[in-house]
């Protein structure tokens, strides 16, 4: 399965023209009922991946229908379009990245994070089994990267912790997948996340990757993936937003407890578009990052956002930032969060 930069906003800021929708929502008998409210939920990437398993399974199990929702899960035409569709109201909700929200807010888009997907930042340096590096040992090495601003910023922060700069390494940019560079020994290490590039090394390379966590070397521990909403839609539909989050919390918990059901639900929809071994391993790797189901699993943190905003401003990724609480809200979380 081809991977890509998880923080695509900077890479594709020059947006392409919108194409027809891909990945139309999956119809179920419940979702076809006239009394259900249709909610369009746009994803972070044009090709389905294992991160989507909770809402795919939750829709199949009827968790969204039980909350009065006909959940229309759609893929954007390109990686640049998720925030455009959300910001313009062509989607009500989105699965996206924290940096895409920051970039969108910088451009004045009416988008807000309403829940996290994962407990922290699992980005770092991935290397071949048995070839583990310290940050200092990266000097003079060749590193496969994605050519976006935040990847380079995180890498710069890591290197700074050992008094190094980007000039001390050789960077090789990959368009959509750094894993082949690593497995073909064209680079010494790559940048990536444990449940994407790390998963790819396991399933394609048949080896356990070494991982050097960025958060242990000066990078903010802010979750990478987010659930977000169009602010106008949220204001007009607060109860439906809460219902969506209740169903999503239930769906994540169920998918964690029933991984085989989750991958089976994914298979029914995307059997021709993915590597089954990758998706099974990816969901297993993702489960370890989601935290324990319950009141705090989706809750956003002012500290995590502030740390990230300070970092992106200091690195010049954005010129100005807003107060942290203007990027997110916990108002739509279940269980009184």
For 146, the token pair is 């994605």
- Over the stretch 21-34, which tens digit does the pLDDT of each residue have? 334 444 444 444 55
Report the half-sphere exposure of 254 (CA within 13 A, side-chain side). Answer: 22
- Over the stretch 204-258, which tens digit does the pLDDT of each residue have? 999 999 999 999 999 999 999 999 999 999 999 999 999 999 999 999 999 999 9
Q: Which residues contact 186 (CB under 8 A, 6 or more apart)?
A: 142, 144, 172, 180
DSSP 23-36: SPPPP-TTTTSTTS
| The pLDDT value given to residue 30 | 44
In order of 10, 19, 110, the CA distances from 15 in angstroms are 10, 11, 18
Rounded Cα–Cα distance for residues 71 and 39 (Å) = 5
Helix axes 259-270, 238-257, angle to 10 degrees: 110
Average pLDDT of the chain?
A: 89
Rounded Cα–Cα distance for residues 101 and 82 (Å) = 10
Rounded Cα–Cα distance for residues 52 and 204 (Å) = 21
Contact 161, 206 (CB under 8 A): no
Rounded Cα–Cα distance for residues 126 and 193 (Å) = 8
Q: Is 113 helix (H, G, I), strand (E, B) or coil?
A: strand
Rounded Cα–Cα distance for residues 306 and 318 (Å) = 14
Question: Which ranges of the chain have pLDDT less than 50?
Answer: 1-32, 337
Rounded Cα–Cα distance for residues 231 and 237 (Å) = 10
Rounded Cα–Cα distance for residues 326 and 303 (Å) = 13
Contact 124, 34 (CB under 8 A): no
Q: Is 73 helix (H, G, I), strand (E, B) or coil?
A: strand
Rounded Cα–Cα distance for residues 45 and 5 (Å) = 10
In the chain, what are the domains?
37-120+223-326 (3.40.190.10), 123-216 (3.40.190.10)
| The pLDDT value given to residue 133 | 97
Q: Is 173 helix (H, G, I), strand (E, B) or coil?
A: strand
Q: Is 135 helix (H, G, I), strand (E, B) or coil?
A: coil
Rounded Cα–Cα distance for residues 1 and 204 (Å) = 9
| The pLDDT value given to residue 1 | 42
Picking from 153, 158, 160, the residue whose alpha carbon sits closest to that of residue 309 is 153
Contact 5, 147 (CB under 8 A): yes
Q: In degrees rounded to 5, what are phi and psi of residue 33?
A: -65, 140
Rounded Cα–Cα distance for residues 21 and 331 (Å) = 30
């Amino acid at each position: 399965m081809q991977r890509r930069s998880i923080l695509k906003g900077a890479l594709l800021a020059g947006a392409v023209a919108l194409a027809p929708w891909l990945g139309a929502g999956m119809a179920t008998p419940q979702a076809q009922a006239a009394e259900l409210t249709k909610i369009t939920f746009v994803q972070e990437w044009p090709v389905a991946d294992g991160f989507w398993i909770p809402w795919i399974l939750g829709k199949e199990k009827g968790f969204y229908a039980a909350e009065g929702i006909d959940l229309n899960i759609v893929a954007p035409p390109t990686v640049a379009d998720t925030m455009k569709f959300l910001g313009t109201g062509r989607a009500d909700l989105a699965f996206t990245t924290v940096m895409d929200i920051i970039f969108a807010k910088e451009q004045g888009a009416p988008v807000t994070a309403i829940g996290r997907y994962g407990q922290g930042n699992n980005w770092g340096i991935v290397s071949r089994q048995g070839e583990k590096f310290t940050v200092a040992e990266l000097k003079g090495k060749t590193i496969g990267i994605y050519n976006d601003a935040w990847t380079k910023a995180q890498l710069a922060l890591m290197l700074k912790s050992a008094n190094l700069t980007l000039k001390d390494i050789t960077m090789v940019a990959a368009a959509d997948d750094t894993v082949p560079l690593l497995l073909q020994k064209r680079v010494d290490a790559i940048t990536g996340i444990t449940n994407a590039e790390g998963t790819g090394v396991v399933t394609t390379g048949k080896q356990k990757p070494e991982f050097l966590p960025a958060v242990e070397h000066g990078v903010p521990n802010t979750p990478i993936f987010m659930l977000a909403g169009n602010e106008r839609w949220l204001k007009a539909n607060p109860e439906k937003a809460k219902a969506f989050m209740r169903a999503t919390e239930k769906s994540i918990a169920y998918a964690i407890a029933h991984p085989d059901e989750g991958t089976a639900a994914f298979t029914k929809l995307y059997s021709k578009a993915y590597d089954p071994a990758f998706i099974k391993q990816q969901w297993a790797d993702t489960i370890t990052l989601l935290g324990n189901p319950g009141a705090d699993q989706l809750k956003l943190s002012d500290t995590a956002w502030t740390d990230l905003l300070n970092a992106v401003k200091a690195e010049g990724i954005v010129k100005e930032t807003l107060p942290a609480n203007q990027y997110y809200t916990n108002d739509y979380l279940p269980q009184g969060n």
